Amino acid sequence: MKKVLFSILLAAFVLTLAAQTLPIYLDDTRPVEQRIEDALSRMTLEEKIAVIHAQSKFSSAGVKRLGLPDFWTDDGPHGVRPDVFWDEWEQAGQTNDSCVAFPALTCLAATWNPEMSYIYGKNLGEEARYRGKHMILGPGVNIYRTPLNGRNFEYMGEDPYLASRMVVPYIQAMQNEGVAACVKHYALNNDEEYRHQVNVIVSDRALHEIYLPAFKAAVVEGKAWAIMGGYNLYKNQHNCHNKILLNNILKKDWAFDGVVVSDWGGTHDTEEAITNGLDMEFGTWTNGLTMGTSNAYDNYYLAMPYKKLIKEGKYTTKELDEKVRRVLRLYYRTSMDFSHKNHGFLCSEAHYEAARRIAEEGIVLLQNTGNLLPIDRNKVKRVVVVGENAIKMMTVGGGSSSLKVQREVSPLEGIRTILGEKVQVEYVRGYVGDVTGEYNGVSTGQNLVDERKPEMLTAEAVEKARTADYVIFFGGLNKSDYQDCEGHDRKYYELPYDQDRVLEAIAKVNKNVVYVNISGNGVAMPWKDKVAAIVQGWFLGSEAGHALASVLVGDANPSGKLPFTWYAGLKDVGAHALDAYPGVWRDNEKIIDEEYKEGIYVGYRWTEKNKIRPLFAFGHGLSYTTFKLGKVIADRTEISASDNITVSVDVTNVGSRAGAEVIQLYVSDKKASVDRPLKELKGFKKVFLQPGETKTVSIVIDKDALSFYDEVAKAWKAEAGDFELLVGNSSDNITSRVKVTLK
Ligand code: GLC
């Protein structure tokens, strides 16, 4: 008997040991959740701790004993960042990591075309896949609350509905390629200047109606596999381990099953990180491996300090196992998902084509007095191109989204290529702005130094412009510090480098001036009525020059619409009019309280409430053709809470060339128990029409589109009563409206 018992025990022991050491078989066809539990059951405490924090700048450990590979991530939202050293921000100097730079996400938002978002995510996902990255640290969807925010170019504008619709396809497409999206920076990270010290104070209504919707859409509809906590604090708790944002809203209310990643250096407390929902800690400021400290990654808050608390019995592995489950789920969705036979592509022509298409569809024609544009290349003889932004590389710089591109076509190159030999194209500098040519070890290879005095540069530009058929001035901002760049905000709204003076001097001698603004933010335009045409050119990435030139000569008919209100000045912005930016320092000078006093009145919600006319309205964008919108028809004018309403409008292209229009649907609550904006965007659709063609555009809405966030009930609520549905092609051009009643 004893022998039998002994052999049974021995067999059991051997099996257990085997279970602990057998690799996780790749051909294991059990459901992922079972495989996760299986892997978890085999992992030691050391292995569990190892997978929830970084082991290098952009990687975290796998579990080699079980056949789980290391996990690799990389920036950024616009392209795959070049590889840096194991534990340095400096370049590793690879020769196989040049990439395609896709347009900045503000340009993607300006397309108002979810198909472009899908193309974006797919192509970026292919580049990431090829580069062996399991997760891309993007897209960003923080709301454009102030035009000074250094990182607005990485985000999708001021309106929560537009950002929600435009972020979802990007995530779905990228994750379809087997690459996790990591939507950021969750949440309320709406400016850069004091991003590590800002404690945001905001009403529940503004939080839920303005700042959370795009994150919620990314998680609930986009099914994002990861989300990044922002650096700032909310209700005095750091976002990377914020109980309300992570445990209550993200993981409970939104049932997020992915991984919460800290921003690099966003983790500040072990016990909060344990209990408040942080799953992977990256970039914490230990002095890293390079400063001689024995494995500084062990000093991470979720590393040895966490293990110590478990050893002391202060914590069981309950929270740890939940974190590890999420990390394992991320593995099985990416590094351990071998169903994807694709190995991705890098710098393929298809990727350049995608970058160019998105850029062309995102460029916004803001003004075209006298139909100066498009330039008729068969008539024009001499074009003068002015401005530093006609030649300056914009893919290098701007912070963590900076890239090492295989190529970047400048606006000047694009113009020269498209106009060809027959047209004389001359370039003059006009002004000197930022002449640095390097970021984070990536060099632009450009030497933009020009020692001439500003007066000389202006005189030269005026002289050349005097007899030109067209003057195209490429100005705006750039990716240097205190411009459109991470880590700081702009100090003022006006154009830098005295561009206004140069442009006005040119406008005095030539009436055919086209001003192309390269930026991710609005700027002051005191000369608006002195130039005929104004184009918002965004940071367009590798194909910038081709896309801009194509629009300027009319090969592409512009169809972009502004994703934010273009203010005349900061006094017209809620955050600034109420002195609610950048906030008030506490006595300890460590925390700055930034109270979002404007509440839900961000962007057009603010300007319409206060009867402020912006330079250009949210949703504004012209075309080289003309569209006529018919009368809007609702399929029902009385609805109960469970009904949908289909709103239809006929759109006709009454011009002489093909083009696209964006039909926008706004909702106005005629009588509510709370103060509500005059109208809010709740639907849009881009429609492509041949000359003379008419299409019926239909947009379906339901009671969600009529709802507001009720702070008392802590829930969304649609109050019975009358609403107006307004349809137009810009927030300041409503062509017809229809009344509906919610019973
Ligand atoms: C940066 C940024 C974040 C980026 C991360 C890694 O500080 O805030 O967007 O993904 O660190 O570079």
- What does the DSSP assignment read for 571-637? GGSHHHHTT-SS-EE-TTSS-EEEE-TTTT--THHHHHHTTPPPSB-TT--B-SS-EEE---EES-S
Whether residue 184 has its Cβ less than 6 Å from ligand 1: yes
State the pLDDT at residue 339: 82
Q: Is the pLDDT of residue 56 over 70?
A: yes
pLDDT tier at 285, thresholds 50, 70, 90: confident
Burial class from Cβ neighbours inside 10 Å (0-12, 13-18, 19+) for residue 555 reads middle
Pocket mutation for ligand 1, best pick of 74, 152, 264 (most atoms within 8 Å of C-beta): 264
pLDDT tier at 23, thresholds 50, 70, 90: low
39 phi/psi in degrees, rounded to 5:
-60, -45
Are 562 and 159 spatial neighbours (Cβ–Cβ below 8 Å)?
A: no
Question: What is the C-alpha separation between 107 and 102, in angstroms, rounded?
Answer: 10
State the pLDDT at residue 391: 98
pLDDT tier at 22, thresholds 50, 70, 90: low
* d(CA 306, ligand 1 centre) in Å: 24
State the pLDDT at residue 90: 85
Q: Is the pLDDT of residue 289 over 90?
A: no
Whether residue 189 has its Cβ less than 6 Å from ligand 1: no
- For atom 12 of ligand 1, the residue with the nearest CA is 400
- For atom 4 of ligand 1, the residue with the nearest CA is 400
383-399 CB burial, b ≥16 within 10 A, e <16: bbbbbbbbbbbbbbbbb
State the pLDDT at residue 96: 94
State the pLDDT at residue 216: 98
Mean pLDDT over 288-315 rounds to 84
332-387: pLDDT as tens digits: 999 999 887 788 999 999 999 999 999 999 999 999 999 999 999 999 999 999 99
Residue position matching structure tokens 């993007």: 138
- For atom 5 of ligand 1, the residue with the nearest CA is 264
91-103: pLDDT as tens digits: 999 999 999 999 9
Q: Is the pLDDT of residue 13 over 90?
A: no
State the pLDDT at residue 12: 62
285 SS3 class: coil
State the pLDDT at residue 571: 98
pLDDT tier at 557, thresholds 50, 70, 90: very high
Q: Is the pLDDT of residue 494 over 60?
A: yes
* d(CA 693, ligand 1 centre) in Å: 46
233 SS3 class: strand
State the pLDDT at residue 87: 82
Q: Is the pLDDT of residue 292 over 70?
A: no
Whether residue 81 has its Cβ less than 6 Å from ligand 1: no
* d(CA 402, ligand 1 centre) in Å: 11
Whether residue 263 has its Cβ less than 6 Å from ligand 1: yes
State the pLDDT at residue 1: 62
Mean pLDDT over 422-435 rounds to 98
pLDDT tier at 16, thresholds 50, 70, 90: low
- For atom 11 of ligand 1, the residue with the nearest CA is 264
State the pLDDT at residue 588: 85
**Ligand 1 atom with minimal separation from the 140 CA:** 9
State the pLDDT at residue 105: 98
Question: What is the C-alpha separation between 687 and 426, in angstroms, rounded?
Answer: 38
Q: What is the mean pLDDT of the chain?
A: 95
Pocket mutation for ligand 1, best pick of 72, 84, 137, 183 (most atoms within 8 Å of C-beta): 137
Q: Is the pLDDT of residue 15 over 80?
A: no
* d(CA 284, ligand 1 centre) in Å: 12
* Residue positions annotated with a catalytic role: 263
Could you tell me which of 141, 226, 138 has the C-alpha nearest to residue 190? 141
Pocket mutation for ligand 1, best pick of 263, 267, 281 (most atoms within 8 Å of C-beta): 263
- For atom 6 of ligand 1, the residue with the nearest CA is 264
Residue position matching structure tokens 């103060």: 675
Whether residue 264 has its Cβ less than 6 Å from ligand 1: yes
Whether residue 75 has its Cβ less than 6 Å from ligand 1: yes
Those residues with Cβ within 8 angstroms of residue 164's Cβ, 6 or more apart along the chain or in another chain: 213, 214, 216, 217, 218, 221
550: part of which helix (H) or strand (E)?
helix 544-552
Are 177 and 342 spatial neighbours (Cβ–Cβ below 8 Å)?
A: yes
State the pLDDT at residue 460: 98
* d(CA 140, ligand 1 centre) in Å: 11
Residue position matching structure tokens 């609550």: 669
583-640: pLDDT as tens digits: 999 998 899 999 999 999 999 999 999 999 999 999 999 999 999 999 999 999 999 9
pLDDT tier at 4, thresholds 50, 70, 90: confident
Q: What is the DSSP pairing of strand 644-653 with strand 638-639? A: unpaired
Q: 276 or 642: whose pLDDT is higher?
A: 276
* d(CA 513, ligand 1 centre) in Å: 39
State the pLDDT at residue 592: 98
**Ligand 1 atom with minimal separation from the 58 CA:** 6
State the pLDDT at residue 5: 73
Residue position matching structure tokens 């829930």: 715
State the pLDDT at residue 654: 98
**Ligand 1 atom with minimal separation from the 137 CA:** 10
The pTM of this model reads 0.96
Q: What is the DSSP letter of 555?
A: S
Question: What is the C-alpha separation between 463 and 442, in angstroms, rounded?
Answer: 36
Could you tell me which of 466, 318, 300 has the C-alpha nearest to residue 382? 466
State the pLDDT at residue 24: 66
Residues above pLDDT 70, as percent of the chain: 96
Whether residue 400 has its Cβ less than 6 Å from ligand 1: yes
* d(CA 734, ligand 1 centre) in Å: 40
646 SS3 class: strand
**Ligand 1 atom with minimal separation from the 184 CA:** 9
Residue 586 has a CB neighbour count (10 Å cut-off) of 12
**DSSP β-bridge partners for residue 518:** 476
State the pLDDT at residue 287: 62
Question: What is the C-alpha separation between 326 and 279, in angstroms, rounded?
Answer: 7
* d(CA 264, ligand 1 centre) in Å: 6
State the pLDDT at residue 32: 93
Mean pLDDT over 687-703 rounds to 98
